[in-house]
Structure 1
Amino acid sequence: MSELAQARGAVRLEATNHEGSLLGKNVSPQKFASGKNTGFAFADILFAIDLNNEIVLGDAFPEWRGNLYDIQMIPDMSTLVEWKPGLDSVIGDYWLKDGTPVPICPRNLVRKLVAGLADNGYAATVAVEIEATLFEESVQEARARGYRDLTPLGGSTGATYHLARSKDWVDYMEAVVERLDSVGIAWEAWTDEAAPGQTELNLAPTDPVGLGDSWARTRQVMREVAFERGHTVSFMAKPTAGFGQGAHINLSLQSDGVNRFFAEDGPSELMRHAVGGLLATMEGNTSIALPQITSYRRLVDLTGPPTTVGWGVNNKTAAVRAITGHPKYSRLEYRLPGADVNPYLALAGVLAGVLAGIERKIEPPEQVTDMAWCLPESAGVRRVPDTMSKAGAALDADPLLREYLGDEFVDFWVASRRWEWMEFHTKGGDPFAELSAWESQRYFEFP
């Protein structure tokens, strides 16, 4: 712990539940010192509530869940940083009192898949492209307006790679990366994105658990900087009725320091098997990659997100893009997740597909060499599930994801999505609107 925090600062405990927002509590330096090895009690209700703080009904309660039982959040001391003067922060995992991980703990799911890859002799390197939309209004004003009719920061026109954004937009992004530098989060680039007020921020490649931590913290940094500057930011999959926003995951596998996705003549055998596993699990993984009602409003042909289950070398219209021909940069880009995804669950789902592919040597179908959008199912093309119900049913029926993520997680997650669907259809959601007021209220600030 930093000397400053030892002397007079608090420590913020951080972890996500299934919904993806950072949860936690602030503790005194003395309290942190007494519990940093044994953990801190969190009520199990954090896995039993939705984004509106309602108790979720309809899923089985295993032995460890019950009448507000305590689970232990044990901090990972390698993540301890000075967040700001007087406040340190640390990320942790959820554990049961018998020393086993909570089966639905997102961060521990990533650990489980990383261990599975290690058993096969591989280590994964991953990176993410985070998209978000910035608005001029303060968060208080945004709340007062129901998160509707807000003013995009930086100008009302949309363009990609444009350098003509106004100074308030540029100042915000410069403040964000300065804060990322101060807390040790490695980033590579930021740029203007397609929609008014939208940005893309690329985090540097690292290990999966480390990327999940950096991803979750980066969203927190972007929120805090927005609040401090009197603005607001949203990672909602579609914060306006215009463009949506995603979170593309890039992945490669190494052994003995060598990128095993590289081959002189194109995708290596290992890359092909990884692609095969990702495509075999894609319909089920859609439920994880697109977690909320609004997530599915992104799935419009010709607008950016993948709409069909396919892959192609350097094909950005496909769900899985293969980058080949370079011993360092050969990798796969998984283009399905929305900006609203839980970082750890997104990574766990991708790693599960990759691991299934390499262990079972799953060969992918022929790559898509033309545009992957607008292809009809009558031509034998599988469409990405375009509703929460379809995606949940696909996950429920997926034997590979059940094996690699665990039955308890899959059953829990599917039940939570059924609850979300019911809330939308019984509490004021409008499936025929481009973007309903119910969605703006529920998702704009979360995750």
Structure 2
Amino acid sequence: MTAFGVPEVVEVLLPDTSAVLRGKWIPGHAMGKIWKDGVAIPLSIFGLDVWGCEVEASEIHMETGDKDGLCWPVPGTLKPVPWASHHTAQVLITMHEPDGSARGRPWKLDPRQQLAAVVDRFAARGLLPCVAFELEFYLLKPSNVPGAPPEPVFQATGQARQNMYAMSDLDAFAEVLHDMRAACVTQGLPADTVISEAAPGQFEVNLYHRVDALGAADDAVLLRRLIDGVARRHGLKATFMAKPLADFAGNGMHVHASLMEHAGGNLFAREDGVGDTALRHAAGGLLASMADATLIFVPSFNGYRRLVPGSYAPTSASWGFDNRLVAVRVPNGPRHARRLEHRIAGAEAHPHLVLAAILAGMLDGLERGIEPPPPLEGNAYEQIGEPLSPDMEVAVDRFAASDFIARTFGVDYRRIYAAMKREELAAFRRVILPLEYETYL
């Protein structure tokens, strides 16, 4: 029994390595089993590519007998699904590997467990990450033609050009946006500002800061599902694709992070010089690990189309104060709210993996005292900085050889993730683009 009654169905949601939600429908009358017995799902669910196909090179499918893992609900995530056509609830689950104990041990290939391990490292130093996500998305016309180019909803606003922060765009989509906000209230998701972004039909939803890194990443996963579900109820298609429209801005996932001391207060805000040093070293760690972790931040073939000069997406490992053209920004604001804004990730990236890589980079910088280069001012596209990986192949190679990735995620995870991305890259390279036929046929 829940506060909203017994649902007809409970959807158990397990984000896989690509943040695609896998899981099951469980009858509402049997929902108690989720907490009592767990949910059996193959451990190899984390060896699927973005299309849901087994990646044989991961070596966790037939080689292992395709054993089941045991998934347990994430506390606080049982919520009603207001956009569903039937009385439905959902709950996020996380994977454990059976080891003879009642719950099993955390499954190392589950991105949520990877983030938990990084958070534990901060806790051992007396620090708690305080995190907020910002998610950008487009609302498009739905299409029944697989692979068809997206159809923007320009006619809804009369705008077919950049229209940054336009109240007219918010007004034009007020009904669906208000329903998204209402669904956030129903599900307890801490949604804050809604902004009309740099293109017609593009919006950003910000989540409040949480001194709970796992909860913040859970919120980002569930917010994407909510936006998609509410949009469908309105006959629209929501997409978090990094670069859905060639002539307009891409969709980013910006992450704000500060560090709270157990004794109280923001480490970066300390007045004794410690705060400035900690902020600088955390930024240095992010820049030093950025090239190695780019494949986490930009996991899709399409995502590298977003990282181009003039797009307000970063193109180099750079940082600066109140500068939206760098990769790591220190936003303007009161000292007690000092934080780093990480601006590389595409909106399609896995929130748990993105946050694990960001926090691990910050911790590396703190532990090793990494000094960053001077902060950039003005147009970062015209200044020197280590370029980000220009394409997916370079990013895969850098990831696969990275000591930082091995130390953060483990050698096995590094190998398996790289194998999955190599297979996805090969699939895209086998496809002949329409422009090639148009040009050469």
Instruction: Please give the TM-score of this superposition, normalised by the length of structure 2.
Output: 0.90
Of stretches 295-304 and 71-80 in structure 1, the one that deviates more from structure 2 is: 71-80
Query: For 1:39-438, what aligned pairs fall within 5 Å after superposition?
Result: 39-61=38-60, 66-84=64-82, 86-98=87-99, 99-135=104-140, 137=141, 139=142, 142-144=143-145, 146-152=147-153, 154-155=156-157, 156-165=160-169, 167-206=171-210, 207-242=212-247, 243-255=249-261, 256-264=263-271, 268-323=276-331, 326-375=334-383, 381-428=385-432
For 2:299, the aligned partner's letter is P
Give the root-mean-square deviation of aligned CA atoms: 2.3
CA shift digits 1:69-118 (9 cap, x unpaired)? 21111112322222347322111111101111111101111111111111
Distance (Å, rounded) in 2 between the aligned partners of 1:127 and 1:431: 40
Alpha carbons of structure 1 residues 316 and 149: separation in structure 2 relative to 1, 3 Å: closer
CA distance in 2, matches of 1:231, 1:68: 38
Task: Provide the C-alpha distance between the structure 2 equivalents of 1:370 and 1:151, rounded to a whole number of angstroms.
Answer: 32
8 A Cα contact 2:301 2:392, kept in partner: yes
| Structure 1 residues 214 and 432: alpha-carbon distance in aligned structure 2, compared to 1, 3 A threshold | farther
Q: 1:111 to 1:283 in 2, by over 3 A?
A: same
Give yes or no for contact 1:286–1:385 (8 Å, CA) kept in 2.
yes
Cα distance in 1 for residues equivalent to 2:332 and 2:168: 33
Can you list the C-alpha shifts for 1:252-290, whole angstroms capped at 9, x where unaligned? 001122011114598621111111111111001110000
The structural deviation recorded for 1:337 is: 0.3
Identity in percent: 28
Counterpart contact for 2:167–2:196, Cα < 8 Å: yes
The code of the aligned residue for 2:244 comes to P
Distance 2:171 2:76 in 1: 37
Q: Is the 8 A contact 1:126 1:250 kept in 2?
A: yes
Show the counterpart of 1:36.
Answer: 35
What is the total number of aligned residue pairs between the two structures? 423
In the aligned structure 2, how far is the partner of 1:412 from the partner of 1:432?
33
For 1:297 and 1:419, the matched residues in 2 are separated by 19
Whole-angstrom distance in 1 between the partners of 2:272 and 2:308: 34
| TM-score, normalisation: structure 1 | 0.89
Shift of 1:354: 1.1
Distance 1:375 1:432 in 2: 35
Q: Which has the higher contact order (CA 8 A, sep 6+)?
A: 1
CA shift, 1:326, in A, is: 2.5
Quote the offset at 1:193 in angstroms. Answer: 0.5
Q: Is the 8 A contact 1:37 1:74 kept in 2?
A: no
**Cα distance in structure 1, aligned partners of 2:52 and 2:189:** 31
Unmatched segments (≥5 aa) in structure 2: none
Distance 2:174 2:26 in 1: 35
Task: Read off the aligned partner of 2:203 and give its amino acid letter.
Answer: T
Alpha carbons of structure 1 residues 49 and 431: separation in structure 2 relative to 1, 3 Å? farther
1:21 alignment partner in structure 2: 20
Aligned partners of 1:53, 1:132: CA distance in 2, in Å?
A: 23
Give the Cα–Cα distance (whole angstroms) in 1 for the partners of residues 77 and 123 of structure 2: 22
Q: Which consecutive unaligned segments of at least 5 residues does structure 1 have?
A: 434-447
